[in-house]
Amino acid sequence: MILTIARHEFLKLFKTGKIWKLLALCQCLLGLIFYRYMTEFLLKSQNLLIENHPSLGITEEVIHPLFAWTALFFFFTTPLLATNCLTQERKSRILEIYLSAPLTATKIICGKFIGIFGAQIFLLLPVLLMPLLIAVEDSLDFGQFISGSLGLVLLLGTNLSIALFIASLSKEPLIASFVIFITLLLLTLLEWVTHFLSPTFSWITELALLYHCKSFLSGIINTQDILYYACSFHFEGLISMAFLRSS
Amino acid sequence: MQALPLVSVKNLSYTRPQWAMRDLSFSVNRGECMAFIGKNGSGKTTTLNLIAGLIKPHAGHILIQGFNIHTLPILAKQFIGFLPDQCPLYFELTVREYLSFIAKLRQISKSDIPDHVEEVLEKLNLKRHQHYLIGILSKGLKQRVGLASAILHRPSVLLLDEPTQGLDQSQIEDFQLLLSQYKKEAAIILSTHYLNEVKSICDHALQFSTEEIKAYDFNHCAT
């Protein structure tokens, strides 16, 4: 049943054409960013070659910032996708299809999560192909590329579970999208805020979304970071289910 | 031994700022149709939503074929077909795609889905429109698709919230004929503003108002 709902959510985005618009935007923006970093890297490398300095690592110089921009891009798309599948359906009363059927809130939330997560991965895949273009001509650090990709996937999942939780509370899609975006932004800025606080509050950094992604982007797979994302998935998923059940 | 009523409502209480319902009890048996009549905002839709398990009552309980809708929702909801006043439809799907999706949600086995879909398409005269997108259909056709989705899994309890609203006279007559046929195998509860509809297909009625709820029994001409 979860897969039926997931498949429906995934295909619905294609039927309404929303996913193609997002894909075009994603490719356009991140393609330009990739091009910019590549040009910068080539110029820097040429200058270093002239001055007989050791060359720069392309993965660190191009892929790392590209992935950071990708994470930022998904801060904008996640609220749209999450509110479209939950808040919008609640407003137009389509959610009653699911609520009047013999389904548990767990199945509804999990189905919707997997469907939207699949759509996000669909948007992410062409971005992951960009670094592979480098591998054709230059040496790419595949370890860092794979860990960075894993970090992005985990970050997208966490963003989505937070977004679905907020979407399950709201009845107005526009307000829900705005609240999700602000929440994701605040959870990212937490890391920056701790610079202005006393060391006693340094633990707040641990709650920041991008903080745990950083080590992945640098090529380090840390079980602590995986655990953070897994706990986030689980916790936000559980409270979304509770709110859907009580609605 | 008396057969178990398909819908049994006991001491149902629910309070809203504009009205309060206290200790409402009634039952609907197989082959019976009950109408909820009354002005807008008198509590008809809320009572239907309570019976469908979409909202929880403040007191009392609702049994669907003996299963409490709020403590055993998965079991009870298997027997319910629900058509809200605003038909929940996916406009980007075709009629057939939508009905197939609903059939999967209703846990009809994969091999039986085509038969169930064919049956409701035939019953509701939707065969000609089965490959049309729902978004381009007229209001009457959308309402028929909504009803098709409600009876797709052959429920024994059918809950309809103002099902004939926005339909023309011939569509209303077709609809009433269909309900009269369906009534033989199920219990139907519908909310309506049309007294003709009540008289032609319903056996009982509850008249909702902000002060009280009156019961009418058309079979015995008593109130």
Per DSSP bridges, beta strands B204-208 and B213-217 are: antiparallel
CB neighbour list of residue B145: distance below 8 Å, 6 or more residues apart: B87, B89, B95, B98, B99, B124, B126, B134, B137
Taking CA atoms, what residue in A is nearest to B106?
A101
Q: Is the pLDDT of residue B197 over 80?
A: no
Instruction: Name the average pLDDT for chain A.
Output: 84
Range of the domain at B99: 86-154
| A94: nearest CB among B88, B104, B106 | B88
- Residue-wise pLDDT for A100-149, tens only, equals 888 888 888 889 989 999 999 999 999 988 888 877 777 778 888 888 88
* Shared-domain flag, residues B170 and B75: yes
Q: Report the CATH number at residue B36.
A: 3.40.50.300
Instruction: Name the average pLDDT for chain B.
Output: 84
pLDDT at B220 (0 to 100) = 52
Residue where a domain terminates, one of B99, B123, B154? B154
| A12: nearest CB among B80, B90, B149 | B90
In 3-state terms, what secondary structure has residue B7? strand
Considering only CB atoms, which chain B residues are within 8 Å of A112? none
Whether residues A4 and B104 touch (CB distance < 8 A) is answered with yes
Give me the mean pLDDT over the A55-64 stretch: 78
Taking CA atoms, what residue in B is nearest to A17?
B92
Split at pLDDT 50, 70, 90, the class of B222 is very low
Split into its structural domains, chain A has a count of 1
Residue B89 to chain A, least CA–CA distance (Å): 6
* Shared-domain flag, residues B22 and B90: no
Considering only CB atoms, which chain B residues are within 8 Å of A4? 101, 104-105
Considering only CB atoms, which chain B residues are within 8 Å of A96? 54, 82, 84, 88
* Shared-domain flag, residues B1 and B75: yes
Higher pLDDT, B173 or B113: B113
pTM: 0.84
Residues from A contacting B (CB-CB < 8 Å) are 1, 4-5, 8, 12, 15-16, 92-104
- In angstroms, the CA A45 to CA A31 distance is 21
* Shared-domain flag, residues B111 and B74: no
Residue B180 to chain A, least CA–CA distance (Å): 24
Report the range out of A162-171, A193-202, A234-243, B207-216 with the highest average pLDDT.
A162-171
pLDDT at A247 (0 to 100) = 58
* Shared-domain flag, residues B92 and B55: no
Whether residues B105 and A4 touch (CB distance < 8 A) is answered with yes
Q: Is the pLDDT of residue A233 over 60?
A: yes
* Shared-domain flag, residues B163 and B69: yes
Taking CA atoms, what residue in B is nearest to A4?
B104
* Shared-domain flag, residues B31 and B100: no
Split at pLDDT 50, 70, 90, the class of A236 is confident
Residue where a domain terminates, one of B120, B139, B154? B154
Paired tokens of A23? 């894909």
Range of the domain at A142: 2-246
Split into its structural domains, chain B has a count of 2
Split at pLDDT 50, 70, 90, the class of B100 is very high
Whether residues A93 and B73 touch (CB distance < 8 A) is answered with no
Higher pLDDT, B98 or B222: B98
* Shared-domain flag, residues B122 and B181: no
Q: Is the ipTM of this complex over 0.95?
A: no
- Residue-wise pLDDT for B61-95, tens only, equals 899 988 988 888 888 998 999 998 888 888 889 99
* Shared-domain flag, residues B132 and B40: no
Paired tokens of A1? 């049943």
pLDDT at A6 (0 to 100) = 92
Rounded to the nearest 5 percent, the helix, strand and coil shares of chain B are 35, 25, 40
Higher pLDDT, A195 or B164: B164
Residue B178 to chain A, least CA–CA distance (Å): 22
Residue where a domain terminates, one of B154, B174, B209? B154
Give me the mean pLDDT over the B182-199 stretch: 83
* Shared-domain flag, residues B11 and B51: yes
Percent of chain B with pLDDT over 70: 96
